Amino acid sequence: TESQQSPSAMPDLAPPGVWDIEDLENILQNAPKVSDVTPQEATILKLNPKVATHANAVETAETRENREHYKRTSKFSRDRKVHHGSMMTNNFDDIKLTSLTERGALVESSRCLKCADAPCTRSCPTSIDIKHFIQCIATQNYYGSAKAIMDNNPVGLTCGMVCPTSDLCVGSCNMAATEEGPINISGLQEFACSEFMKMGIKQVRGPDAGTGPSYDAPVAIVGAGPSGICCANYLGRLGYNNVT
C-alpha cells in the first residue's frame, strides 16, 4: 500500500539523544583528536622553507661532494649535455649584454617554479634565499627582494653583474632542461638591487645594534675585496663605529 514504507527509503537520522549547552565543555574535551603526523608526512613537511637562524659553515670539500648529487653538470645528471658556461672553454654566452627591464624581470620571475628543495639556494655561496627574492619580484615587491639579497650579501648588485651563476645557482636550476632555459637569476638580482638604489633609502642601524666604549674601538680590515667590504658592512650593522 501507499502507506507502507519503501525498502529503499532513507532511515530516520534523528539524534540519539538531546544535549544541553551545559554539556558543551564535556563534548569538546572528548572530541576526536587530530591524528598524529606519519613519518612519510613528516618527511614532506621538512621540505617547507624555514627561517635561517644562523649562518651555515660548510667546508669546501664537503660542498663539492654534495654538489655532485644535485648539479645538472655532475656526472650523475641525465642533463649533463645541457648548455652551461661551466662546461665551455673561452665561451662567454652567459654574459648579459643588456639589463632586464621591469617587464622582462616580471616575465622572467613568473617562470620560477619555487622548488621546495630550492637547488639554486643550495648552490649559492652566500646562501641567498633565491626563491624568496624572485617571488618578491613577481609580486613587484622590489624592496623586499633587495632586502632578501642584501641580508646575506651586501654586494648584491656587483654579484648580480659578475657572479659565475652558470656554475652556481643557474647551473642547478630545474628549468635548465626546458626550451626556455634556466632562470636568469643574476639578471633578476641585478634588477632588484638597481631598483632599490633608485629608491634612495638611507641605510640606518637597527635598534638592536650594540653601543658602548667597546664599539668605538678601532677595527682594521686587511684587504678591500668582496670579503673585506662585506665584513665592514656587517661590523657597521653590529654597531662598530671605527672600521678601517
Q: Do 105 and 137 touch, CB atoms closer than 8 A? A: yes
pLDDT digits over 157-190, tens only?
Answer: 888 888 888 888 888 888 888 888 889 898 899 9
Mean per-residue pLDDT for 120-132? 89
Each residue's pLDDT tens digit, 2-16: 445 444 444 444 455
Helices (H) and strands (E) in the chain, counts: 10, 0
Residue 35, pLDDT > 80, answer: no
Q: Is residue 160 exposed (0-12), middle (13-18) or buried (19+ Cβ within 10 Å)?
A: buried
pLDDT > 60? residue 69: yes
pLDDT tens digits, one per residue of 70-96? 655 555 454 444 444 444 455 555 455
Residue 29 one-letter amino acid:
Q
For residue 219, the SS3 value is strand
Task: Please state, in angstroms and rounded to a whole number, the distance separating the CA atoms of residues 176 and 182.
Answer: 4
C-alpha to C-alpha distance for 150 and 165, rounded to whole angstroms: 17
Write down the mean pLDDT value for the chain: 77
The CA angle 166-133-64, to the nearest 5 degrees, is: 40
For 243, list phi and psi in degrees, rounded to 5.
-115, 125
Instruction: Name, in order, each residue with C-beta under 8 angstroms of 143's C-beta and a sequence gap of 6 or more.
Output: 196, 199, 201
| Cell output for 23 | 554539556
- Residue 88: count other Cβ atoms within 10 Å of its Cβ: 12
pTM tops 0.85: no
How does residue 145 score in pLDDT terms, banded at 50, 70 and 90? very high
What pLDDT does 127 receive?
A: 85
Task: Give the pLDDT mean for 13-34.
Answer: 66
Torsion of CA 55, 234, 154, 162, to 10 degrees: -80
pLDDT of residue 146: 92
Among 97-101, 110-114, 122-126, 135-139, where is mean pLDDT lowest? 97-101
Backbone dihedral region for residue 33 (phi beyond 0: left; psi -120 to 50: alpha; all else: beta)? beta
DSSP 66-103: HHTTT-TTSTT-TTTTS--GGG-SS--TTS-SS---HH
Q: What is the pLDDT of residues 94-118, one digit of tens each?
A: 455 457 888 999 999 999 999 888 8
| pLDDT attached to residue 134 | 93
Could you tell me which residues come within 8 angstroms of residue 232 by beta carbon, excluding any fewer than 6 positions away? 221, 243
- pLDDT surpassing 80 at residue 67: no
